[in-house]
Structure 1
Amino acid sequence: MSVLRIYGNLLEPALHCRWALFNAGAEAMLGDGQLADLPKHAERCQLLLPAAQVLLMRARIPHGAKRHASSLLAFALEEQTASEPDTNHVSYLGAVGDEDVLAVIDKRGLATWLAALSAVGVVVDEVHCETLLLNRNVGEWSLQWNGSEGMVRTGEFEGAATDMGDRDSPPMLLGLLLDEAKTQNALPSSIALYVNAPEAVPDLQVWQAKLGVDLRNAGVWNSGLAVSETTVNLVRPPRRWRALSGLTTRLRPALWIVGATLLLHTVALLSDWALLASQQRSIRQQMVTQFRQTFPDAVAVADPVLQMRRKLSDARHAAGQPDSSDFLPMIERVGAVMQTLPLGSVRAVAYESGRMTLELLPQEVETGHAIEARLRERGLKVESPATVGTQRVVIVSAP
């Protein structure tokens, strides 16, 4: 199987990178250049992140939350990371004793790199931290050193990037980690020292005296060329279906047709909407004009239909004629409907300002719907039927 490993720095723009291509039975091919020039034929693609950009930390997570989404795990670490949960991608790695180990990655930087690689046709299958690629023996720690800084792996899922040091001074972080391990009775038997070049090897005797732990020179190590089948995948990107590769190209003519059809329908819909809106404004303006001609003393016209109905009602009352919203006309139409109900079904009738409230005994759904339909047939408006306690309330009014 061919594996493409891409070394991505989340703090830098996703424009170029170092990479290595592994082919079974062949020497690894190394490269450094633009993302667009990456090999496209690899069967598996790995994104390798620097040790300093992946925070490996312990926490106590409820058992049911360990397999949950990254956003939920990020909220569980909000206090420890002292950052907004939405800015972190958090992955569950495994358990160490009674505690859990989680990996914290900058979400925006990771998303930028994944999107940039996808844009050039490279789909990432796995995301790894170079700390967990470092070789490690049971009971031993591993330190990678370039002469001034490096990274240390202290367990199956644990490690960190170190601070600065030199030939005669080990990094301070390494000493702090050893002090913490001593308090927990978990000191390593020794520390395997890997360097990126032979000249980067420090004075092991001086370091051993300052750290209080044996160090052994384990040789040259390069994270880009390291082969490890046990390292943990920090992110599980969407699965890519190779059987569907090229499907977009084959369907491109059909997609163009569908897009053009949707565009035409959208233009037609917007045209109809604009025409109807124009007609609505024209009709409303005609109603306002007619209302002002009929009632020139009106100060403002907010709702010409409602105001015309009220003016008509006032005119009828002034002429001694009843209006459809008066009590007698409404009770006559309501009574014609309610007379089909059993005796005692109507508990109370209230009337105020053209609205009549009826309190009925609860009826079956079909009966209630039939009553509402007959009220509407009589020219009444039925509003929000509801049940209050053991009573069914129906509010009717003139249209």
Structure 2
Amino acid sequence: MSLLRIFCPLSAVPASCEWVLFDDSAGVHPGDGALAQLPQGAAQVELVLAASQVLIARARLPATRGRRSAALLAYAAEEMLASDPDANQVSRLGQVDGDEVLAVMSRQRLQSWRAALGAVGVHVDAVYCETLMLPVQSGEWSLAWNGQEGYVRTGEFEGGATDCGDRQTPPLALQLLLEGARAHDAVPTSIALHAATPAAQPDVEAWQRNLGVGIRLAPQLDWRTAPAKPAVRIDQEREHWRPSAAALMRWRQIGWILLAALVLHSAALLVDRMRLASEQHQLRQQMEVRFRSAFPDAVAVADPVLQTRRQLAKARHAANQPDAGDFQVMLGRVVAALADVPTAQLHALSYEDGRMTLELSAPGDTLVRRVEVRLIQAGFDVQVPQAAPRAGHGTVTLTLRSP
């Protein structure tokens, strides 16, 4: 898998940079120049920050459940730097001796580099610090040195930049780190020294006398030659999942299948709706034709079912015969239906044009349901309110129609 590693000096304007490309054949191709000249198409892109631009420090944080929030980490860094917490991006690296190890960097400068790289089509997948790209062994520190200054890694999650030194005198920052380690009985057995060039190699014996620790010369190593997968990231953002081309092709095919199924289903629903509408129109036309053939004197047909009921009731009344919608007939059926429901107390009853309204006093939900079932069994169309009142409170109204 190809890897593009970009060295990002946060203090500089994001216009040009140094980089190295690890291709699929394990080839290493270094380069430098404008951002627009960066190699395109790398499967993984890493951003490497200078040791002097990332503060790695310990902080004692209050105990919390789950992951530490970004706000808590930012305020912890504020106590160490006395700066605006919003100005820093703070990431938790790990835990050492009960303390949290934090990496602090400039949020605005890092975002400006991300934006500049994104503008030329380079998406950053991970951010590292050159300090934590040095190899480290148990009981030993690692120091990268260019002849004047450098950076040191003192543990899995710890390290930092050093100040100036020379061939005879090691940097003061390294001496102070060793004094702090002696106070905690954690002095390393040796320091692996990675000199940038043969000319940058110091006087090992003079350094050993000043530091009181053995110096082991190690091969040259920097961010360009570090292993392809450094262990410790310093960004707390989630990795963005980027599917492979084959996965995208499979999902594209599935998407087309789902889209075709959705179109077919929508078309079937539309055809079915049109068919039902056509059948409803045909049934209405048949009812109108039958109504006009039975009652040719009707002027207009608005509701053939209701108008047919009214004409039949009128014909029955003309022949001195009762109709199912008459008051006496409906009342008799109601009385018969509620004869075995003695607890139903009738509060009021009204009748108008084939519609009877019953008001029951404080029936309760169970009794309302029982009365409804009895009236439906008696052949009535019953309209019941959505929620009947609780027993002992108010009344409930039932509207009856004879079919």
The 1:109–1:130 alpha-carbon spacing in structure 2 relative to 1, beyond 3 Å, is same
What is the alpha-carbon distance in structure 1 between the residues aligned to residue 151 and residue 125 of structure 2? 25
What is the alpha-carbon distance in structure 1 between the residues aligned to residue 66 and residue 139 of structure 2? 27
Q: Is the 8 A contact 2:126 2:239 kept in 1?
A: no
The answer on 1:239 being equivalent to 2:240 is yes
Q: Is the 8 A contact 1:125 1:237 kept in 2?
A: no
What is the alpha-carbon distance in structure 2 between the residues aligned to residue 227 and residue 145 of structure 1? 19
Equivalent in the alignment of 1:34: 34
Equivalent in the alignment of 1:132: 132
Q: Is the 8 A contact 1:128 1:231 kept in 2?
A: no
What is the alpha-carbon distance in structure 1 between the residues aligned to residue 78 and residue 189 of structure 2? 35
- Aligned 1:24-173 pairs, distance under 5 A: 24-64=24-64, 67-173=67-173
Q: SS state of the match for residue 220, structure 1?
A: coil
- Aligned 1:340-351 pairs, distance under 5 A: none
TM-score norm. by structure 1 comes to: 0.59
**Runs ≥4 residues deviating over 4 A:** 242-246
What is the alpha-carbon distance in structure 2 between the residues aligned to residue 189 and residue 238 of structure 1? 37
The 1:142–1:70 alpha-carbon spacing in structure 2 relative to 1, beyond 3 Å, is same
* Aligned residue type for 1:97: D
Equivalent in the alignment of 1:193: 193
* Aligned residue type for 2:19: W
* Aligned residue type for 1:239: H
Q: SS state of the match for residue 128, structure 1?
A: strand
**Aligned residues with identical type, % of pairs:** 48
Q: Is the 8 A contact 2:152 2:159 kept in 1?
A: yes
Which of structures 1 and 2 has the bigger CA Rg? 2
Deviation at 1:74, TM superposition (A): 0.6
- Aligned 1:168-317 pairs, distance under 5 A: 168-227=168-227, 229-235=229-235, 236=237, 239-242=240-243
What is the alpha-carbon distance in structure 2 between the residues aligned to residue 66 and residue 190 of structure 1? 37
What is the alpha-carbon distance in structure 2 between the residues aligned to residue 78 and residue 65 of structure 1? 22
Deviation at 1:198, TM superposition (A): 1.1
Q: Is the 8 A contact 1:198 1:220 kept in 2?
A: no
**31-40 or 230-239, larger mean C-alpha shift:** 230-239
Q: Is the 8 A contact 1:191 1:216 kept in 2?
A: yes
Deviations 1:291-350 (A, max 9, x none): xxxxxxxxxxxxxxxxxxxxxxxxxxxxxxxxxxxxxxxxxxxxxxxxxxxxxxxxxxxx
What is the alpha-carbon distance in structure 1 between the residues aligned to residue 119 and residue 63 of structure 2? 37
Deviations 1:118-163 (A, max 9, x none): 1111000000000000011111000000000000000000001000
* Aligned residue type for 1:49: L
Unaligned residue ranges in structure 1 (runs of 5+): 247-399
Q: SS state of the match for residue 76, structure 1?
A: helix
What is the alpha-carbon distance in structure 2 between the residues aligned to residue 186 and residue 125 of structure 1? 35
Q: SS state of the match for residue 64, structure 2?
A: helix
Q: Is the 8 A contact 1:133 1:228 kept in 2?
A: no
Deviation at 1:187, TM superposition (A): 0.1
Deviations 1:66-120 (A, max 9, x none): 7344333111222111111011000000011111100001101100001111111
Deviation at 1:241, TM superposition (A): 3.2
What is the alpha-carbon distance in structure 2 between the residues aligned to residue 194 and residue 230 of structure 1? 17
Q: Is the 8 A contact 1:71 1:89 kept in 2?
A: no
Equivalent in the alignment of 2:315: none
Q: SS state of the match for residue 112, structure 1?
A: helix
**11-20 or 55-64, larger mean C-alpha shift:** 55-64
RMSD: 2.2
Aligned residues: 248
Unaligned residue ranges in structure 2 (runs of 5+): 249-403
Deviation at 1:61, TM superposition (A): 1.8
Q: Is the 8 A contact 1:16 1:33 kept in 2?
A: yes
The 1:183–1:66 alpha-carbon spacing in structure 2 relative to 1, beyond 3 Å, is farther
